[in-house]
Each structure stands twice: as structure tokens, then as C-alpha cells.
Amino acid sequence: MAKPIKGVASIDVKYLANPLELIEFAEYFWKKQQQPLLLEEYLPGNIYSVETLNGHLLGGFTCTLTELPYFIETGARWGVPPEGAAYVMRALEAVGATFGACHTELVMTAQGPRIIEINYRSIGDQSDFMLDNLSGGSYFENVLRTSLGETIQPPVIDSELHSIAHYLFAERAGKLSDAPGGFVEEREGCAVHYVPTKQASDVIDLTHSNKDYLGMLHVTGQGKQRVEELLEKELERLKAGFQWA
């Protein structure tokens, strides 16, 4: 797979099956901008994130992506295999990443866990709000207190809670004539948070990256089935609100 060495949001990140595809992609990319392309081994397997604070394991998410050749993240569900989490914790200790928030991505390959990257920050795409909900509203407070040099007790994650993020993304280029607005509400005993990233009158040019997001939906509550069912209801309602000119 190839990606810009200074890229963000999976823009111009692509799986390349053979040298000819690499040559074609490089020619296309360098017509747009002059910066090096980084080539990485493609790691087949399920993708997860592990979230830590001050070297303390909070938990992690099971991530879903679009089909190859692109890598658009479509969602994340709370839960990470213990083997993967333990592997990441050993790696963070080895590299000294034990202060403040840390977000590590890994793949569980057939040969075992492999780390994609270690990010010395909180998880992105508004999913840090899920961490805050899962910890009873203490995550952001503890991140800030850590940065102020205070000694903290690691946030406690409620084991009865489940949390899901779903990212709605454009599958076509065009102009939106209408789009749902954002909200933070409690519905059916769950915290529901929707962040729009596109609005009416926006013109969308597909980038095959996270920049194609229309909005981000997060649901957190007691019981996996309840959260999953409510997510489906909210998705149906939101999708009906997008109209194309």
C-alpha cells in the first residue's frame, strides 16, 4: 500500500496489487503534489485500536473499513481482543509512550498482532466522546489534569456499557440540497451524538478518504443489543435526511 508521507485522513492511501499499479498511482499522485510516497506492507486481518491514558489500558475498538483498494473507516465498536491489547501495552512500555492519551492501531494477522502506528493523542473522528461516555464523563477531565501535571486515578470503564461509532460517507459526487443537523441527546436510555461534516449546498468531490464523510454517529448505552438496535434506527432516520440536487 502507498500513502503520502505527510498525509492525513487516509487521503491518497491506496492498496496496490502489483508494480504496474504502483507506477500508475505514483504518476497520478505526483501530478497533484510533490512529496514522497511511503510504501508499507499490507497487513490482512481485522483492525483494532487500543486506547490508553498514562500507560493504563482503557480498552479499544474493533474497526471496519471499506473494501480495497481504499481505506475509509466506516465504523468502530467497543471491544478489542485481550491478546492484541496485551501486545500493545508491552510495545508502549518499550517505546516509553506512557504519558497522557495514546491511540494505537493494530491488525490481528494470521501470524499474530502487528502494530500499524502509535499516535500520541486521543482517538479521532469524535470517538473520544465515546471514551468519555464509557468512563462516566471523566476521560477529558483526566486528560487535561494529566497535562497540568496532576496525579490522576485512571478512568474506570463501565463493563456493562457498549459503544458504537458509524461514519456515513458519500458514495457519489454531487451537491447536497439537504442534510441532517447535529445533535446530542439521550434516546431509549442511550447517549446519541451526531456530528455532521457536510451540510446543504455543499458540493462533494470524492476523495476515497475520510474527507468523504457526511456525518459521524455515536451511540453509547447499557447492553449491546439495545445499542445496536438504536444505531440502526438512527441510521435509517439520518440517511433519509440526505437529499441530492
Give pLDDT, residue 243.
96
Same domain, yes or no, for 176 and 223?
A: yes
Number of domains in the chain: 3
- Give yes or no: residues 150 and 204 share one domain: no
Instruction: Give yes or no: residues 34 and 47 share one domain.
Output: no
Q: DSSP letter string over 144-194?
A: HHHHTT---PPPPPPTTEEEEEEEEE-SS-EEEEE-PPPEEEEETTEEEEE
- Residue length of the chain: 245
Give me the average pLDDT of each 10-residue run along the chain (245 residues): 85 94 95 91 95 95 95 94 96 94 96 94 90 92 93 87 95 95 94 95 93 96 95 96 94
| Phi, psi of 128, deg, nearest 5 | -65, -25
Residues 49, 154 share a domain? yes
Q: What is the CATH number of the domain that holds 49?
A: 3.30.470.20
Radius of gyration of the chain (CA): 19
Q: Are residues 29 and 53 in the same domain?
A: no
**Rama region for 160: left / alpha / beta (φ>0; ψ in -120 to 50; rest):** alpha
* Residues spanned by the domain of 59: 43-159
Q: What is each CA distance from 79 to 45, 69, 97, 214, 215, in whole angstroms?
A: 16, 26, 22, 25, 23
Predicted TM-score (pTM) of this structure: 0.89
Task: With CA atoms as reference, report the closest residue to 146 among 16, 53, 57.
Answer: 53
Is there a contact between 168 and 238 (Cβ–Cβ < 8 Å)?
yes
How do residues 59-103 score in pLDDT, each as one tens digit? 999 999 999 999 999 999 999 999 999 999 999 999 999 999 999
8 Å CB contact between 120 and 97: yes
For residues 47 and 153, membership in a common domain is answered with yes
Q: What is the spatial distance between Cα 56 and Cα 73, in angstroms, rounded to a whole number? A: 26
Q: What is the pLDDT of residue 78?
A: 96
Whether 155 and 47 map to the same domain: the answer is: yes
